[in-house]
Chains A and B, each alone.
Chain A
Amino acid sequence: MPRLLLIDAKWEGEIKLTKKLKAHLKKTKPKSIDLFASVQFSNIKEFLNDLKKLKIKVNMQKVKRTDKPLQILGCDCYPDSFEKKLTSDMILYIGDGMFHPKALILAIDKPITIFDPISDQIKVVGRKDMERELNRKKANLKKYLIANKIGILVTIKPGQQYFLAAKKLKENLEKENKKAYIFIDDTLNPMNYENYPFIECWVNTACPRIGTDDIININQPMINLRDALDPGRAFVELEK
């Protein structure tokens, strides 16, 4: 096996409390902030000092999958992905793009404020921005419960490989007199699903964002492993 080197690729600019963000905070008046960022935007010493001057309490949130506070990953998309409950007046994400904020939207039904230091843009997003995905997720869960032939997708990528859990799920489904087939691939490609029309519902065991963001682009229903193991909890979490 080759050795591995991971490079953060930090943003070259300086993360500061800009006039625009200051005005937004003045308008929304949060007393406390749950703070997140992607690894590129985690040099925030000056930003934290500026928030302190505004007497805003900052809760540096930590997700279970990383060792560094502040950082969020795309797979931290469930209510229990965080070490502490998100109870501050504002959830603030520093970074560009929607991939990480969408993880927060999926995890919690609260407004998420995004501050993009590159464009100095502020945007508030929430569940309404993922309505299609969330409605489809709910519908797919119902279809999973009544499906008799289930396809379980397993990737061989080590960081996302859950072969044992897939085999366990197959056993559980067979105890319920359902048919389950395990499909193995490297990168899961939606084009391949359609070659198996007998599958009534897919269970994705790889990156959980495949079973959330991508489900609006495929015809067959798909849910994530975690939701397949406990569909009752999945329904409850959709209301959180």
Chain B
Amino acid sequence: MYELELQQLISEIKKQKAKQVLIQLPDGMKHKADQVADAVEEQTSAKAFLWLGSCYGACDLPLGMDILNIDLVVQWGHNRFNKEMW
């Protein structure tokens, strides 16, 4: 129902020469996680990993990924926002 935009994903992984990619999908798209991971591993030399938890917005990014040597985090369903400053 929603476009996974896999071609954009694949070309970005190749362009960035990413080796380990974390896939973060909102709840309504999580059932397609296998399609995304398969596409990454079949069409690039990168390894794909899936974020199990929440994906509420671009404000909700997984932390600590550098410990696992994840070099690209890909989040679906949101875009850049301007953080309010207090």
Contact = CB atoms under 8 A, between A and B. Distances in A.
Tell whether A and B belong to one assembly: yes
A165 B29 CA distance: 34
A5 interface: yes
A137 B74 CA distance: 35
Contacts of A158: 61, 63
A159 B60 contact: yes
Interface string A148-172: 0000000011111010110010000
Given A2-B72, A40-B2, A157-B63, A67 B56 contact: no
Chain A contact residues, majority secondary structure: loop
17 contacts: A2-B72, A2-B73, A4-B61, A5-B12, A5-B74, A6-B78, A6-B80, A11-B1, A39-B77, A39-B78, A39-B79, A65-B82, A66-B82, A73-B57, A74-B57, A157-B63, A229-B86
Interface of A: 1-13, 39-40, 64-68, 71, 73-75, 118, 156-160, 162, 164-165, 168, 186-187, 207, 225-226, 229
Contacts of A2: 22, 65-66, 70-73
Given A7-B75, A12-B3, 20 more contacts: A2-B22, A2-B65, A2-B71, A3-B16, A4-B72, A5-B74, A7-B74, A8-B3, A9-B3, A9-B26, A9-B76, A11-B1, A66-B80, A157-B60, A157-B61, A158-B61, A159-B83, A187-B53, A207-B59, A207-B60
B46 interface: no
Secondary structure dominating the interface of B: loop
Nearest to A71: B79
Given A1-B66, A2-B65, A68-B79, A7 B56 contact: no
B50 to A, nearest CB: 15
The size class of the interface chain B forms with chain A is: 35 or more
A157 B81 CA distance: 14
Contact of B3 (A10, A65, A71, A187): A10
A12 B77 contact: no
A11 B66 CA distance: 32
Contacts of B73: 2-5
B67 to A, nearest CB: 11
A194 B66 CA distance: 32
Nearest to A210: B56
